[in-house]
């Protein structure tokens, strides 16, 4: 309920840590005029989980875009562990490039690296890439993500000015050591920023 004056909120897919009713219901309730952006494939599931009208969210598919106030959002497929689509060809797992002013931020959602991923991101010179680092370990019995090395290398491949690692220190069974990511990024001279919850990031290098 402390989250006020929010214009846009996104969900990348239907897993609870990316579509959490306990978080989203009060955020949607306390921010009149908010736009809720989701993968179009997930519309029915989302409406049921967050108790909203089915037509309330704005649904995107890959390579589709929407503009909300000063923000333009572009849909990018995510592979978790597959690029999964519904019967209409809509992606169930997505990331977003968020464009505002002269800046572009890529939040991948949960994803592995896949063929042509870099090509899809090249039209959007990325300033900050927010990428998962918890890896893909079948023994965990959950869908996987990039590991620390892959996240650093993907940031380098797309020319990101900074990589901000995510998806660690949340679930004890499905985490990673963020210091390992830092080592991997430093090996290839990929700039990065490790943020704590609520920490503000400012840079003159963007």
Residue 84's H or E segment, with its range, is none
pLDDT per residue as tens digits for the range 135-177? 877 767 777 899 999 999 999 999 999 999 998 867 655 567 8
Task: Give yes or no for residue 21 having a pLDDT over 90.
Answer: yes
pTM: 0.92
pLDDT per residue as tens digits for the range 43-68? 999 999 999 999 999 999 998 999 99
pLDDT per residue as tens digits for the range 115-141? 999 999 999 999 999 999 988 777 677
Per-residue model confidence (pLDDT) at position 169 = 65
How far is the CA of 124 from the CAs of 8, 76, 100, 119, 120, in angstroms? 20, 11, 12, 10, 8
Question: What is the pLDDT confidence band of residue 1, given thresholds at 50, 70 and 90?
Answer: low
Q: Which residue has the higher pLDDT, 130 or 32?
A: 130
Task: Give yes or no for residue 197 having a pLDDT over 60.
Answer: yes
Task: Give yes or no for residue 71 having a pLDDT over 60.
Answer: yes
Question: What is the pLDDT confidence band of residue 2, given thresholds at 50, 70 and 90?
Answer: confident
Q: Which residue has the tokens 């519904």?
A: 86
Tally of helices (H runs) and strands (E runs) in the chain: 5, 9
């Amino acid at each position: 309920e402390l989250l006020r004056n929010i214009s846009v909120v996104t969900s990348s897919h239907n897993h609870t840590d990316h579509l959490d009713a306990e978080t989203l219901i009060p955020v949607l309730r306390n921010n009149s005029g908010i736009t809720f952006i989701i993968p179009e494939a997930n519309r029915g599931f989302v409406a049921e989980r967050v108790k909203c009208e089915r037509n309330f969210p704005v649904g995107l598919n890959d390579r589709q875009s929407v503009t909300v106030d000063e923000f333009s959002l572009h849909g990018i497929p995510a592979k978790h562990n597959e690029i999964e689509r519904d019967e209409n060809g809509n992606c169930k797992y997505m990331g977003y490039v968020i464009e505002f002013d002269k800046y572009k931020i890529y939040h991948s959602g949960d994803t592995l690296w896949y063929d042509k991923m870099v090509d899809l991101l090249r039209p959007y010179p990325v300033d900050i890439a927010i990428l998962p680092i918890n890896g893909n370990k079948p023994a965990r019995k959950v869908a996987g993500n990039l590991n620390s090395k892959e996240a650093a290398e993907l940031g380098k491949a797309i020319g990101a000015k900074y990589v901000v690692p995510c998806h660690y220190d949340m679930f004890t069974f499905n985490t990673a050591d963020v210091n390992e990511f830092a080592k991997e990024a430093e090996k290839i001279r990929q700039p990065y920023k490790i943020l704590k919850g609520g920490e503000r990031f400012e840079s003159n290098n963007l």
